[in-house]
Amino acid sequence: MGLGPRSAVMTGVTAVALVFTPLGAAAQTGVTADDTAAGWLARQLVDGDHVESAPATPDFDGTADVVLALDAAGVASDAATKAAAFLAEPDTVLEYVGDGAAESYAGPLAKLALVAESRGLDPKSFGEVDLVTALGALQAPSGRFVDASAQPDQSDGLSQALAVLALERAGGAPVKAVDFLVASVCQDGGFPAALDTPCVSDVDATAVAIQALVAVGRTDAATAAVTWLVGKQSAAGGFKTNLPDAADNAGSTGLAAQALRVGGKTAEADKAVAFLTGLQQGCTAAEAVRGAIFSSQGQATGAVSATSLAIPGIVGISYAKVSAVGASNALPIVDCTTPTTSSTTAAINPIVNPGGNNGVSPAPQGGKAPALAATGIYRPSVAWLGVVLLLSGTALVALTRRRASTR
C-alpha cells in the first residue's frame, strides 16, 4: 500500500479495514480493504485504460474517478497512468471538457485538472489544453463557475466545490469563487447540489464543499457543514441522497467519509468506513467481483462507480491531497487461499451485512450532455436516474453519457 500523504490519515482506518480483508500469502501482508478494492477496480478498465457507460461508449468522468481512487489507494499506479493517458488524448479532452470556444464545462474541467494534479502532471498543459485557464474563464463576476454552452447550464454546487479544489491545488483558488461557495450554504448548514431556491442541502455536495473549504482554510463554514453532515449519518454508518425512498449507498458514504475525516470527526468517519467495507465482496462472492464495493446490499449494478467513490473515503484522504507519489504497481486481490472464520466471511460479504441497502451514489462526470448523462460526484441525483434507466432496459444512459460525454 504505499502513498506518502495517505499514511497520516490511515491511522484508525487500517484497523477497521483489516477486519474485512482476509489476508493470505506474504505478498498480501498488510493489504487492506482499499487496496483490494483498487486492485479490482484496475482490472475493470477496458483495454486497460478506461471504463465504459455502455459497450463502446467511454465514460470519461467515470475514468477520472478511477484514476483518483487508484491514486488514493496508492496501488495500481501503472493502471492509473494508462487511464490518465487515455484522458489526456486531445480528442478525449475536447469531448469531455468542451472545445473551449463554443462549449466549455466547469465540472469536467475541474475533475480533469484534479486528475492531472493527482498524477503529478501539469494541468496547464494536459491533452494540449490549459485546464486551469479554461476553468478560470468560466468564472462569472459573482464567483460562480458556469458552463459556456448552447445547452442549459449544468454547473452546480458540486462543480463549484470541485473547481475550488482544482484551482487551489493549481496555485490558489480565486477569493470570489471561494466566497461564492461559502455564500451558497443553506440555513441548516449544509450545501446544495442545485444552486437555486429553495436551498436544499445535499450530502454529496456538502461532502465535497467541506473538502474544498478545509483546503482553502475557511474552517468556520466547514465546521458548520460537518455538523450538518454528522446529523445525516444513519445508525448503520451510511449516507444517502435526497431522492425519495433513497437508502444508504456507497458513493455518498465514501464522499462523506472523506469529509468527516478531514473535518476531524474520527468516530463518525470510522463508522462510515465500516459501512463501506461491509459492502465489499469477499471470499463467498463470485471471483469476478471479489474486492468490489457494491453500491448497496446485493446491488452489483454501478459497482465501478461505487468502488471509485468509496476508496478515498476508506483511505480518509481529501481530493485536495490525493497523489500518486509513492504509489506501487501492485494489483492486490482478496486472497482466499487462507481459511477464514465464518465471522470474517460474514463481515466482508455485503449480502449478510445489515448495514447495506439499495441506492446508488453520485460520481463526478464529464462533458456537456443532457442532465441524464452526468453521474458520480458531479451529478449525484442524475447518476441515480441513469442507473434506474439502465435497469429498466432503456438506452438513454448510453446515449446521454456519450454527448461530449459526462459520466
DSSP notation for 19-67: HT----SGGGTT--HHHHHHHHHHTT-BTTTB-EEETTEE-HHHHHHHH
Classify 163 as helix, strand or coil: helix
Q: What is the pLDDT along the chain (407 residues), one digit of tens a residue?
A: 332 332 333 333 333 332 222 222 223 446 789 999 999 999 999 999 999 999 999 999 999 999 999 999 999 999 999 999 999 999 999 999 999 999 999 999 999 999 999 999 999 999 999 999 999 999 999 999 999 999 999 999 999 999 999 999 999 999 999 999 999 999 999 999 999 889 999 999 999 999 999 999 999 999 999 999 999 999 999 999 999 899 999 999 999 999 999 999 999 999 999 999 999 999 999 999 999 999 999 999 999 999 999 999 999 999 999 999 999 999 999 999 866 443 333 333 322 222 333 233 333 333 333 222 233 554 333 333 333 333 333 333 333 333 333 33
196, with CB counted inside 10 A (0-12, 13-18, 19+), is exposed
- Distance (Å, whole) CA 350 – CA 356: 7
Classify 167 as helix, strand or coil: helix
Nearest C-alpha neighbor of 145 from the set 179, 96, 169: 179
Strand (E) or helix (H) holding 252: helix 250-262
Q: Which three cell numbers stand for residue 279?
A: 459492502
Taking the model in full, what pTM does it have? 0.80
* Residue-range domain boundaries for the chain: 6-363
369: how many CB neighbours lie within 10 A of its CB?
23
Residues with Cβ within 8 Å of 342's Cβ and at least 6 positions away in sequence, in order, are none
The secondary structure of 190-233 as a DSSP string is --BSS-SSS--B-HHHHHHHHHHHHHTT-HHHHHHHHHHHHHT-
- The matching CATH number, chosen from 1.50.10.20, 2.40.160.60, 1.10.150.130, 3.90.180.10, for 6-363 is 1.50.10.20
In contact, 367 and 403? CB cutoff 8 Å = yes
144: how many CB neighbours lie within 10 A of its CB?
23
Classify 101 as helix, strand or coil: coil
pLDDT of residue 197: 84
Q: Which three cell numbers stand for residue 290?
A: 471479489
* C-alpha separations of 124 from 110, 171, 187 in Å: 12, 11, 37
Gyration radius of the chain's alpha carbons: 19
Nearest C-alpha neighbor of 47 from the set 101, 90, 85, 1: 85
Coarse DSSP helix, strand, coil percentages of the chain, rounded to the nearest 5 percent: 50, 5, 45
Nearest C-alpha neighbor of 147 from the set 109, 90, 179, 194: 109
Strand (E) or helix (H) holding 109: helix 106-119
Strands (E), 105-197: none
Classify 14 as helix, strand or coil: helix
pLDDT of residue 26: 28
In contact, 246 and 381? CB cutoff 8 Å = no
Classify 319 as helix, strand or coil: coil
Task: Please tell me whether the peptide bond between 174 and the residue prior to it is cis, using omega within 30 degrees of 0.
Answer: no
φ and ψ of 126, to 5 deg: -120, 115
